[in-house]
Amino acid sequence: MRAVVIGGGIVGLTSGLALRRAGIDVVICERAPEIRAAGAGLGLWANALAVFDELGVGDAVRAIGKPGEMYFHDAAGRLLDTPEFGPEDHEFLLVHRAKLNDLLADAVGRHTIRLATGFAAYEEHPDRVTVRLTDGSVENADVLVGADGAYSAVRGQLVPGTPAEEHPGHHAWRAVLPDPGITLTEDRLILGTHGCRGGYVRTQDGGVYWLVNQFRSPPLTGTRKQQALERAAFLEEGEHGRVLSALIAATPEERILHNQIMLVPPLPHWVSARVALAGDAAHAMSPHITAGATLGIEDAALLGRLLTPAGDVPAALAAYEADRIPRYARVAELSAAVEHAPTPREFARHYAAFSHWMLTSRTAAPGEEKPTADPQPRRGSPAR
Ligand SMILES: Cc1cc2nc3c(=O)[nH]c(=O)nc-3n(C[C@H](O)[C@H](O)[C@H](O)COP(=O)(O)OP(=O)(O)OC[C@H]3O[C@@H](n4cnc5c(N)ncnc54)[C@H](O)[C@@H]3O)c2cc1C
C-alpha cells in the first residue's frame, strides 16, 4: 500500500509517521522549500501526547516542551477558578512549532519528504489515485491524504466551494522572545475586556511565548507592536505589573506575527473512496480553544489505525469520516459556547468544559485503556 500526503505541517508529518508505522509506503509532498512552521509556540493537550507515545516519539516531544496549565485570570489579576474541573483538565505542553516539525520530519524520515513540490490535482480511479504535482511529476498511490492546511487545494477539489473564510474581526498577535530580559516566576493567561485575551507562557529553553487575541476587533491601525500593545491594555488593569505589555514592548517588530483568523466551514464530507482530508484542511477552527493541532494529530493517528497494508481503503476512509464529522460537530458547539460566553468567568468555565470533554472523549489507541471511565466533569458543566 502506498500513500501520498500533501502538506508537511504538523498534521501531514504526523500522518506520514502514523502511516509508515502502519507499514504503508509514504511520500509527503510539501510546497515550501524546507520544513518550517509558521507560528511561534503551540500548546499540545494529552490527546496529542498519547498519539505521539503511540507513534514512539512521545518522550522526544516532551523533551522539547514545557508543561503548562491553562488557568485564566481576569484583568485585575484574580484567578477565574473552575472548581468543577480537575487539574488534569488544564494541563498542556508548550512546544516551539519549528522544533516540533523538525522532530517529526526526522521521525518520519527526511527521505520520504519531497520539498518544493506542491499539489496540483488528482484523478481518482477504482484501484488507485493519481496525484499531479506542480513540478510536472505524477505520483500513483492507493490513498491521498490532504493535510495542506486551511487553504487546502486538495479540499478545493474534493469539496468544491468551501474556501477558508475570515472570522470577522478576529485577530491574533504572538511571538517567542528567546531572552525576555525580565525574570518571570509564573505563566499568566488573561481574559480581559473588549473581547481580548492573551498572556505569556515560559518556554522550555528560557524564553517566553506571548500572545494577544481579540474577537470583534475594530479595523487595525499602526504597527503590529502597537496593535498588540493596544489590546494588552485591556488585559492588564492599572499602571503596575504590566508584564505582558513589557514583553510586547521588548519584542522586535519583525518577530511579531499577526493573523486574521480563518475558518473552514463545516464540510458535508471529508473523504471520497481514496482521498481524505486531515487537520486544518478539514477543520481550521478558531484558536481560542487552542486545540486545532491537537485535534489534527488525532486525525493522523486515526488514519494510521484504520489504513492497513492489505486493507480496504474506501472502507477505512468511510470509518474515518464516520468518526471525525460528529466529533467536530461537537467541537464546534463547545467552541461557540466559549466564544459567546458573556463574561470572563463564563469563558473560563466553558473553556474547561471543552478541554474536559476533549480529553475524556478521545479514542484510545489499540491496547490502551479508555482515557477515563467518567467522561463527565466533577460537578456540572456549562457544556451540558
Ligand atoms: C494564532 C493561532 C494560535 C494557535 N495555537 C494553537 C495551540 O496552541 N494549540 C493547538 O492545538 N492549535 C493551535 N492553533 C491551530 C494550529 O496552528 C493548526 O490547527 C495547525 O497548525 C494545523 O496544522 P496542519 O498541519 O493541518 O496545517 P498547517 O500547519 O497549515 O500545514 C499545512 C502545510 O501544507 C503545506 N501546503 C499548503 N498547500 C500546499 C500544496 N498545495 N501543496 C503542498 N503543500 C502545501 C504548507 O506549506 C504547510 O506546510 C493555533 C492557530 C492560530 C492561528
Which amino acid belongs to residue 373? A
Confidence at residue 383, expressed as pLDDT on a 0 to 100 scale? 39
Residue 198 Cβ inside 6 Å of ligand 1? The answer reads no
Asked whether 42 lines ligand 1 (CB < 6 A), one says: yes
Residue 378, pLDDT score: 55
Mean pLDDT in residue range 331-337: 96
In the structure grid, which three cell numbers stand for residue 308, read together?
A: 492497513
Cα 193 to Cα 71: distance, rounded to the nearest angstrom: 17
Residue nearest ligand 1's atom 27 by CA: 149
Helix (H, G, I), strand (E, B) or coil at 214: strand
* pLDDT at position 181: 87
CB of residue 296 inside a 6 A radius of ligand 1: yes
| Beta strand segments in the chain, E | 2-6, 25-29, 41-44, 65-69, 72-74, 91-96, 113-114, 119-125, 128-133, 138-141, 143-146, 165-177, 188-191, 196-202, 208-214, 257-263, 275-277
Q: Residue of the nearest CA to atom 35 in ligand 1?
A: 7
Question: Which among 96, 261, 290, 324 is the best mutation to test ligand 1's pocket, defined by most ligand atoms within 8 Å of the CB?
Answer: 290
Quote the pLDDT of residue 373: 43
How much distance in Å is there from the Cα of 293 to the middle of ligand 1? 7
Closest CA to 344 of 211, 191, 196: 191
- pLDDT tens-place string over residues 22-80: 999 999 999 999 998 766 789 999 999 999 999 999 999 999 999 998 899 999 999 99
Ordered by where they begin, the domains of the chain are 2-65+97-164+264-360 (3.50.50.60), 170-260 (3.30.9.30)
pLDDT (average), residues 119-135: 97
CA of 11 to the centre of ligand 1 (A): 8
CA 77 / ligand 1 centre spacing (Å) = 32
β-bridge partners, 264: none
Report how far residue 38's alpha carbon sits from residue 96's, in angstroms, rounded to the nearest whole number: 11
Regarding the beta carbon of 177 and ligand 1, being less than 6 Å apart is answered: no
